[in-house]
Amino acid sequence: DIQMTQSPSSLSASVGDRVTITCRASQGIRNDLAWYQQKPGKAPKRLIYAASSLQSGVPSRFSGSGSGTEFTLTISSLQPEDFATYYCLQHNSYPRTFGQGTKVEIK
Q: Which residues contact another protein by CB under 8 A? A: 1, 32, 34, 36, 38, 42-46, 49-50, 53, 55, 87, 89, 91, 94-101
Phi-psi domain of 36 (left: phi exceeds 0; alpha: psi -120 through 50; beta: other): beta
Which is nearer to another protein, 62 or 97 (by Cβ)? Answer: 97
The DSSP code sequence of 69-85 is: TEEEEEESS--GGG-SE
> What is the closest distance, in whole angstroms, from the C-beta atom of residue 15 to another protein in the complex?
26
Which is nearer to another protein, 44 or 67 (by Cβ)? Answer: 44
> What is the closest distance, in whole angstroms, from the C-beta atom of residue 19 to another protein in the complex?
19
Residue 8: cis peptide before it, omega within 30 degrees of 0: yes
Which is nearer to another protein, 19 or 51 (by Cβ)? Answer: 51
Q: Measure the CA–CA gap between 16 and 26, rounded to whole angstroms.
A: 33
> What is the closest distance, in whole angstroms, from the C-beta atom of residue 16 to another protein in the complex?
28
> What is the closest distance, in whole angstroms, from the C-beta atom of residue 75 to another protein in the complex?
19
The alpha helices in the chain, defined as continuous H runs, are none
Q: Who contacts 3 (Cβ-Cβ below 8 Å, separation ≥6)? A: 25, 26, 97
Which is nearer to another protein, 15 or 50 (by Cβ)? Answer: 50
